Amino acid sequence: MPRWGMVIDLLKCIGCYGCQTSCKAENATPPGVTLARVEVSEVGSYPNVSRVNLPLLCMQCNSPPCQSVCPTEATQKRPDGIVFVDAEKCIGCKYCMIACPYGARYFVEDVRGYFGNQGLTPYEADGYPGHRTGTVLKCDYCRHRIDAGMAKGLKPGVDREATPACVINCMAKARTFGDLDDPNSEVAQLVARAQAFQLNPEFGTDPNTRYLPAGRSVAPMETPGARPAKE
């Protein structure tokens, strides 16, 4: 059984939002829901200032706090490590959104679309019924692509058709996806590097989404970074 994981090289990320856009296109997420997003941060103080792009998505934690707090067992973890929400079981209590340290979960208030009174576009009308209003939505590494691809004998992380949309659309090739338990996979080799890190390991979540640092050109800084549009 594979254990899917992703490595994002922050040095390669140019902040083009291609991952965010391709995720929206792939998953037809309604306004306000960005399962993959990029937080842009200006860090440091004059004259040592730098700009950092931090792409974020569900960390697919090995110990997901969102799963343990879920009162209805709507949040589940597959044997391959993918954490997903069973929308039929979700009652929309939002406790998982409170518990997730990475802001990776979104409450689907409504699916009114991007164009207000003009109604849904054909694309939205086709994609939105897949999301149940009043429930929580999150990134699941495009498990529909992984499952469909594997059923065809394709290899996620190698074959585009079986790989998450954000990975295949990253023009800087900052994202690498694959089986963390396969020592020959590119993703496992990247994770084995000394610089690879998890976001805030002190939370004890043990994420399967890892990062490579941007910091070779950035002096160590302790200033607050980018603020969210909202908390």
Work out whether 130 is an interface residue with another protein (CB under 8 A): no
| Residue 140 vs 179, nearer CB to another protein | 140
* Using rule CB under 8 A, residue 148 touches another protein: no
* Out of 21, 62, 133, 189, the residue judged to bind another protein by CB under 8 A: 133
The angle formed by the CA atoms of residues 47, 48 and 50, to the nearest 5 degrees, is 120
Question: Whole-number minimum distance, CB 157 to another protein, in Å?
Answer: 24
- 100 in contact with another protein (CB under 8 A): yes
* 94: contact with another protein by CB under 8 A: yes
- Tell me whether residue 52 or residue 162 sits nearer to another protein (CB atom): 52
**Contact (Cβ atoms closer than 8 angstroms) between residue 138 and residue 146:** no
Which of 49, 29, 9, 30 is closest to 226 using CA atoms? Answer: 49
Q: Write out the binding residues for another protein, residues 44-63 only, by CB under 8 A.
A: 44, 50, 52, 54, 56
- We find the least distance from the C-beta atom of residue 53 to another protein, in angstroms, to be 10
Distance between CA atoms of residues 20 and 53, nearest Å: 13
SS (H, E, C) 165-194: HHHHCCCCCCEEEEECCCCCCHHHHHHCCC
Indicate whether 200 belongs to the interface with another protein (CB under 8 A).
Answer: yes
The nearer residue to another protein, 148 or 192, going by C-beta atoms, is 192
Count of residues engaged in binding another protein, rule: CB under 8 A: 63
**Residue ranges in 64-93 that form contacts with another protein under rule CB under 8 A:** 65, 68-73, 89-93
Residue type (1 letter), 80: D
Task: Kindly report the number of other CB atoms within 10 A of residue 135's CB atom.
Answer: 19
SS (HEC) of 83-103: EEECCCCCCCCCHHHHHCCCC
Question: Please, which residues have CB within 8 angstroms of residue 56's CB and are 6 or more apart in sequence?
Answer: 36, 37, 38, 39, 102, 103, 104
Binding positions for another protein, rule: CB under 8 A? 10, 37, 39, 41, 43-44, 50, 52, 54, 56, 65, 68-73, 89-95, 97-108, 133-136, 195, 197, 199-200, 203-204, 211, 213-215, 218, 220-231
